[in-house]
Structure 1
Amino acid sequence: MLYHYTAVDRAGATQKGDREVPDEKALAKALRDEGFLLVSARTRISPLAHIARIASMPFGGVSLLERIVFARNLAVMIGAGLSMTRALEAQEEQTRSRQFKKIIRGVRESILGGVSFSQSLESHRKIFGDLFIHMVEAGEVSGKLEKSLKLLSRQMKRDYDLRRKVRGAMMYPSIVFMALIAIGVLMLIYVVPTLTQTFKELGIKLPLTTRVIIAASEFATNYIFFALGGLLIVIYLFYLWFRSDSGKRVWGIIFLRLPVFGPLTKKLNIARMTRTLASLISAGLSITRSLEITGRVVGNARFQESLGASVGEIEKGRPFSEILRTWPDLYPPLVFQLISVGEETGTLSRMLLRIALFYEEDVNNTTKNLSSIIEPLMMIVIGAIVGLFAISMIQPLYSSMAGI
């Protein structure tokens, strides 16, 4: 399979390229042997192959909640003494998703054919993700698969809860913003042309802001379909750029600097990073391997960059806490101080979990108060836009009436 990859060396220099390998695991190993750490990888397939793959998939997707239930139920069944194939058969019967049924059936058949559970999941990496596969692999190696699955289900559940709360907090400003755009478009199409005709009949000299609004109205009225088409093209191009490595990095930096949302994003990524690291280390993985996997799980590109650079430094013998001090824009003193204590006392996973709990609680409190913070800001923005529109369109009429 052909992969397009991004990797960093021990000095932090980035390398990008394409390589034909059996799977992502083989790619990571090959790059590691050459002195590089795999940061991200995606398969390169032709458009026809992509369409064929989509067409062959059953309708619907596999949600995070379904994967949480899958991991939790497997842990319970294995703990009760069921074999993996019997547990998977029961899971296949219980799940409602056609796609997930097909995946579980394929995994079970692979195990019956002599392949391990983690290797069977490798065929569905895009569904399960790095964290799921490597936690299972660690459980198989250590002989504590039940414990690994329990840790995994708890980790994913906390991640799911955090995402849901943040999305819920973003719902109100998103709705207000969309409503504001819709009202603005309607005003440009229906209200402004009427006022424009009045201005022409009265022969009023118009200020710059009024002329700009009228020009926007004429464009929206006469070229609405071109405008919508252009907007869709811009959105699509932005989407493609956002998915690129440079786009992710730039957007990651911008988002961390936004007022209100920047600190929330930082806390959310710290919580996800530390909880994921704690789970992987508790499952028996080394700190460097845990960092490699965590770097693919965290959402922000800046955090991914910091974790990727940390692996090479740790292999040189530097403590993890000392490395994080070099990223003060991402990690507050509390993070590397507690990690330092964990390294000194041999309780790193426990300290990472404490950090995760602290920031998860902080995110919970922030999302609860987010509406009270955003509402005044939204009112100021809406008031400024409405005020500008009113002054631009009504002032010329008052000026004309005053001159009569």
Structure 2
Amino acid sequence: MPQFTYKARRRNGEVVTGVLDVPDRSAALAQIERLGLLPVMVDQPKGGVVVDKAPRKGASAPAAAGAAALLPPGLRDLFFRQRRPKLQEIATFTQQLANLLHSGMPLTVALNSMTHLESKGIPADVSRQLRQDVTEGRSLSDAMARQPVIFSDMYVNMVRAGEQSGALVDVLRRLAEHYHRFAEVQAKFVSALIYPAVVTFVGIGIIIFFMTFMLPKFKEIFEGIKVPLPRPTQILMQVGDLMVSPSFWVITGIVISALAVLFMRFKNSPGGRRALDSWKLRLPVFGQIFRLNLYAQFARVLATLLQNGVPVLTALKITEQVIPNQVLKEAIAQTREAVTDGKTLAQPLARSKVFPQLMIDLIKIGEETGDVPGALRNLADTYENELSLALRVMTNLIEPVMIIVMAVGVGLLLFSILSAMFEITNSIGRG
């Protein structure tokens, strides 16, 4: 009978190794779970052949893979590309897995149960593939690393740290809380932008409708009366003539498309991306919101990683990848290089001149007291509260501004029409 060597962990995190005489790998895993252990590695060293039945990195479900194989590569990428889950979806998935493991359920059984739970945005095939990889001897973090569309580097590294420390359930719960918080911040951003977006869309629609459908009818009336029109009305008529011309829309579409292409090229270039990110941070009202959001992200991600045992250099590298701003990315990279040279975290952050003094001071205090994750959590809470306040202020400021802009636009249209009507009335009275 084949022999399988294994490495597993007890519930208290203690590492256990041993050898089992069982027919196959599945039987070895079943026996390990019956012993109340969490399997980490199962191997067949003595002449056994281990067949990797798991699909390659990022592969989808077997049924989908079979269907995708029948399509050309271009169509296969278009129709079978896996969607990246939303923050709230990954938070729900993580919370459900943590609850199952906390109840005492073995990992493979918990992953099997996850295939039957409602995890919106996370296909059941993801849990099924994780279970297969774990059954074949991979750790949970390694199995998640094989699905990078679903699980980010931050997620995988935190799970790995949880496995190594024997606190996987606690780590998963912290991850769930982390993604819940970021989902809330994202929702606040979206809700703050809904009102101005709707007002802008409606305003543009009203102006286009007036210029293309209503204005030509007024033009027929004015031309029939043969009265000299005021200058504002003449300009409005000329603009209306342009907007009803098909060539105007063709040229406008070409110009907008060309500008969009040039902008995307500029944005995707290293210098252009950095220039745009730097400009965002200097905007009058929106710049403060961008800065608060980035500071909160930096503090929250780094605190979560350090709290769960991820080494500081690895945590800084992951945080650098997560932050969506090139200016802050460069500052974090410089900080990582300085920390490698033995310096503290606060000193290189201060030298970058990107992060606020409050953050520098609290991190320095955290280093002196030996609680950098706690200091970063306090910073994240502070900046998230300030961000909520800034979003409310921005929303309250945008509403009257949008109303004024719409009133001015509609007022100009009415003034142009009414001034012509007054001119016609006066002309008739003089006649």
Question: TM-score normalized by structure 2?
Answer: 0.73
Q: CA–CA distance in 2 between the matches of 1:380 and 1:162?
A: 29
In the alignment, what sits opposite 2:26? none
Q: Match of 1:374?
A: 398
Counterparts of 1:5-404 in structure 2, within 5 Å, are 49-56=73-80, 62-95=85-118, 97=120, 100-197=123-220, 200=223, 202=226, 204=228, 207=231, 213-223=236-246, 226=250, 229-230=253-254, 233=257, 237=261, 240-241=264-265, 244-246=268-270, 248-328=273-353, 330-392=354-416, 394-395=418-419, 398=422
Tell me if the contact between 1:57 and 1:99 (Cα under 8 Å) persists in the aligned partners. no
The letter for the 2-side match of 1:125 is P
CA distance in 1, matches of 2:273, 2:94: 30
**Structure 1 vs Structure 2: percent identity of aligned residues?**
24
Against the structure 1 CA distance between its residues 93 and 357, is the aligned structure 2 distance closer, same or farther, given a 3 Å change threshold? same
Aligned to 1:35: none
Equivalent residue letter for 1:356: A
Rounded Cα–Cα distance in structure 1 between residues aligned with 2:119 and 2:219: 58
Amino acid at match of 2:293: L
How far is the alpha carbon of 1:297 from its aligned partner? 1.6
Q: TM-score, normalised by structure 1?
A: 0.78
Say if 1:62 and 1:100, in contact at 8 Å, map to a contact too. Answer: no
Q: Secondary structure at the match of 1:285?
A: coil
Q: Which whole-Å CA distance do the structure 2 matches of 1:392 and 1:269 have between them?
A: 46
Name the structure 2 match of 1:29: none
2: CA distance, partners of 1:69 / 1:239: 37
Question: In the aligned structure 2, how far is the partner of 1:206 from the partner of 1:249?
Answer: 48
Aligned twin of 1:9: none
In the TM superposition, residue 159 of structure 1 has moved relative to its aligned partner by 0.4
- Distance apart, 1:163 and its partner CA: 0.7
In 1, Cα distance between the equivalents of 2:228 and 2:330? 58
| Deviation of the 1:355 alpha carbon | 0.3
Q: Which structure's residues are more often helix, by fraction?
A: 1
Aligned mates of 1:81, 1:297 — CA distance in 2: 33
Letter in 2 for 1:368: R
Q: Please state whether the residue corresponding to 1:125 is helix, strand or coil.
A: coil
Q: Distance in 2 between matches of 1:166 and 1:215?
A: 40
Deviates more, 1:100-109 or 1:189-198: 189-198
Take 1:332 and 1:98, find their aligned partners in 2: how far apart are those partners?
37
In the TM superposition, what whole-angstrom CA distance separates every residue of 1:60-116 from its partner, at most 9, and x where no partner exists? Answer: 763322211111122222222222111111111103558611111111111111122
Relative to 1, partners in 2 of residues 1:179 and 1:119: Cα closer, same or farther, differing over 3 Å? Answer: same
Residues in 2 aligned to 1:49 and 1:236: alpha-carbon distance in whole angstroms: 28
Q: From the superposition, tell whether residues 83 and 297 of structure 1 become closer, same or farther in structure 2 (CA, over 3 Å).
A: same
- Cα RMSD for the two superposed structures: 3.1
Q: Describe the shift of the 1:206–1:130 C-alpha distance in structure 2 as closer, same or farther (beyond 3 A).
A: farther
Post-superposition CA distance 1:5-39 (Å, at most 9, x none): xxxxxxxxxxxxxxxxx989xxxxxxxxxxxxxxx
1:190–1:281 Cα change, 3 Å: same
Residues 135 and 283, structure 1, Cα contact 8 Å, conserved in 2: yes
Shift of 1:398: 4.7
Kept in 2: contact 1:61–1:97 (CA 8 A): no
TM superposition shift of 1:156: 0.6
**1:242, distance to aligned residue in structure 2 (A):** 7.8
Stretches of structure 1 that go unaligned for 5 or more consecutive residues are 1-21, 25-46
Whole-angstrom CA distance in 1 between matches of 2:161 and 2:265 = 35
Residue type of the alignment partner of 1:136: V
Whether contact under 8 Å (2:229, 2:423) holds in the other structure is no
Distance change in 2, residues 1:173/1:48 (3 Å): farther
Compared with structure 1, are the counterparts of its residues 365 and 395 closer, same or farther at alpha carbon in structure 2 (3 Å cutoff)? Answer: same
Counterpart CA distance in 2 for 1:78 and 1:286 is: 25
Preserved CA contact (<8 Å) 2:85 2:121 = no
Q: Distance in 2 between matches of 1:369 and 1:100?
A: 39
Name the structure 2 match of 1:30: none
Larger radius of gyration: 2
Q: Could you tell me how far apart the structure 2 residues matched to 1:281 and 1:139 are?
A: 12
Change (3 A) 1:68 1:235: farther
8 Å contact kept, 2:93–2:119: no
Count of equivalent residues? 358
